[in-house]
A = this chain, B = another copy of it.
């Protein structure tokens, strides 16, 4: 049984300001929760689950010493952010992520310049994970990593990619001798540019890369359009997918 107070408490975590002040976030659904439980670097604080879920997962929860509360489907609906919740909700401790400076010169890194849509942030993390990018740096105005829509869109990739919030100006001193790429509308085509490991800047959905960052790009690059009278731009996550794929192709094939 779950108390009314507890329900209110979990509902309070639906808001970013409370996630921030409590240092907690919510993950939902059998598959996602399993991934977080299995990851040894994650501290799962509480699990709220239906009898169905517990009959199948009680052993692992006890083995991992994770506290769990059995809830009815009606109560799960009350604490869930989803319109049709899937058996289980976990409250998890946020982890502070730090910049790994060494990776900046040895690996390809993404810098997200004010990505605002949680779905875009989530799929960008999934793209990074697919292409072996280990670190994403988000400007402080980028949407929240722990927004439930971000987590859902990342499909567990948040567990494998280091996501740090840091403004470009703070990052810049660490980028001496690191090539800085950015997708703009009038750069050299990515297909024929000789791409190397470096930092790739992905611009905001509506405004692209900020003026002050454009000035710092070593290589402004472009995904060439097939025609001049078509769409003016691509969705930020789709552009990121294409660029990461082209880096992967050129560096590894």
Contacts and interface: CB of A to CB of B under 8 A. Distances in A.
Given A156-B231, A192-B253, A235-B237, A226 B126 contact: no
A231 B156 CA distance: 7
Given A130-B226, A224-B248, A238 B123 contact: yes
A216 interface: no
Nearest to A249: B191
A91 to B, nearest CB: 24
A5 B251 CA distance: 62
| Size bracket, chain A contacts | 35 or more
Contact of A246 (B130, B160, B233, B245): B245
A160 B230 CA distance: 7
A230 B119 contact: no
Contact of A126 (B119, B231, B248): B231
A153 interface: yes
Contacts of A207: none
Interface in A159-178: 160
Contacts of A160: 229-231
Contacts of A252: 226
Interface of A: 119, 123, 126-127, 129-132, 153, 155-157, 160, 189, 191-192, 223-227, 229-235, 237-239, 241-242, 245-246, 248-249, 252-253
25 contacts: A123-B235, A126-B235, A127-B234, A130-B226, A131-B225, A132-B225, A132-B230, A155-B231, A156-B231, A157-B231, A160-B229, A160-B230, A191-B249, A191-B253, A223-B245, A226-B252, A234-B241, A237-B237, A238-B241, A239-B241, A241-B241, A241-B242, A242-B245, A245-B245, A246-B249
